[in-house]
Amino acid sequence: MRIEGILSKWNDDRGFGFITPTQGDQEIFVHITAFPKDGVRPILGEKLIFEIETDKNGKKRAKNLSCPQRPTAMRASPIRRSPSYRRKEGSGFFGRIISLLILVGLGVYGYSEFSRRAAPLSATALEPPAAQGTSSLYRCDGRTQCSQMTSCAEATFFLQNCPNVQMDGDHDGVPCEQQWCTGFFAK
């Protein structure tokens, strides 16, 4: 049920006050959060229409408050900007240009780093494989050490087909003799 009343007491620093209903004698507590979010502070003597709810302590308080005497223009545009704020809006164009230039610069830098790092991999991937049977399993991708291999067959492919590998210490044509190409791992 909607009730009419007048804001009789208000503490702006603490954000609460009391409403005196037009019919009745008991003042009703009201908090700032019950007021409409129109940017206008409550005014003593202001006519209010509200509902009453009981909080968990059994005390009555106002909710769903409306202020019928406030002009509709204030309700339509709740934010009023100062003239100094309008002056700051003019710098938005240059701020956007600077932001765009920074983004373009970061994009160019990122692309150049990607291209620089991807170039060695694409050059080694174009080398022709020597053995037809192992060409589908392995390709030269920049690995040069035995610790980077997973099998003797992979190490043998890299030794025969890829440049700058360091897997045949005694130069006998058998790679990774201490890790992959002896005994159990020699397959």
Q: If you ran DSSP here, which 8-state letter would residue 48 be given?
A: E
Look at residue 134 in the predicted model and tell me its pLDDT. 47
pLDDT band at 18 (very low <50, low <70, confident <90, very high): very high
Rounded mean pLDDT, 12-22: 90
Backbone φ, ψ for residue 92 (5° rounding): -65, -35
Q: Is the whole-model pTM more than 0.85?
A: no
Tens digits of residue pLDDT in 38-60: 878 888 888 998 888 988 888 88
Ordered by start, the domain boundaries in the chain are: 3-76, 95-126, 129-187
Under 8 Å between Cβ of 29 and 60 = yes
Q: Where are the alpha helices (DSSP H) in the chain?
A: 72-76, 83-89, 92-125, 152-161
Tens digits of residue pLDDT in 83-99: 554 555 556 888 889 99
Q: Architecture of domain 3-76 in CATH? A: Beta Barrel (2.40)
Query: How far is it, in rounded angstroms, from Cα 146 to Cα 156?
Result: 10
